[in-house]
Homo-oligomer: A and B are copies of this chain.
Amino acid sequence: MESFKAHLDKFITISDEEFTSVLSFFEVREVKKKQDLILSQEVCRSMFFVVKGCLRKFFVNEKGVEQTTEFAIENWWMTDTFAYERQIKTDFCIQAVEKSIILEINLQTQEELLKKHPVMERYFRMIYQRAYAASERRIRYLYEMTREELYVNFSTLYPWFIQRIPQYLIASFLGFTPEYLSEIRAKLRS
Contact status A67-B114, CB under 8 Å: no
Give the CA-CA distance A129 to B69 in the complex, in Å.
18
A-B contact pairs, 9 of them (CB 8 A): A69-B136, A70-B136, A81-B132, A128-B129, A128-B132, A132-B135, A135-B136, A138-B139, A139-B142
**In the complex this chain forms, how many copies of it are found?**
2
Classify the secondary structure of A's interface with B. Answer: helix
Is A6's beta carbon under 8 Å from chain B?
no
CB distance from A139 to the nearest CB of B (A): 6
Does A85 lie within 8 Å of B139, measured CB to CB?
Answer: no
**Which of B61, B122, B134 sits near A121, CB closer than 8 Å?**
B122
Contacts of A67 in B (CB 8 A): 143-144
Complex interface: chain B residues within 8 A of A128 (CB): 125, 128-129, 131-132
- Contact of B125 with A135 in the complex, beta carbons under 8 Å: no
Who on chain B is nearest to A84 by CB? B133
B69 and A133 form a contact (CB under 8 A): no
Of B62, B69, B124, B136, which one neighbours A125 at CB under 8 angstroms?
Answer: B124
Residue A189 is within 8 A (CB to CB) of chain B in the complex:
no
A65 to chain B, nearest CB (A): 11
Which listed residue, B114, B135, B136, B144, touches A61 by the CB 8 Å rule? B144
Q: Give CA–CA (A150, B67) in the complex, Å.
A: 18
Q: Which of B80, B124, B133, B136 contacts A129 (CB 8 A)?
A: B124
Instruction: Give the residues from 131 to 176 in chain A that come closer than 8 angstroms, CB to CB, to chain B.
Output: 131-140, 142-144, 175
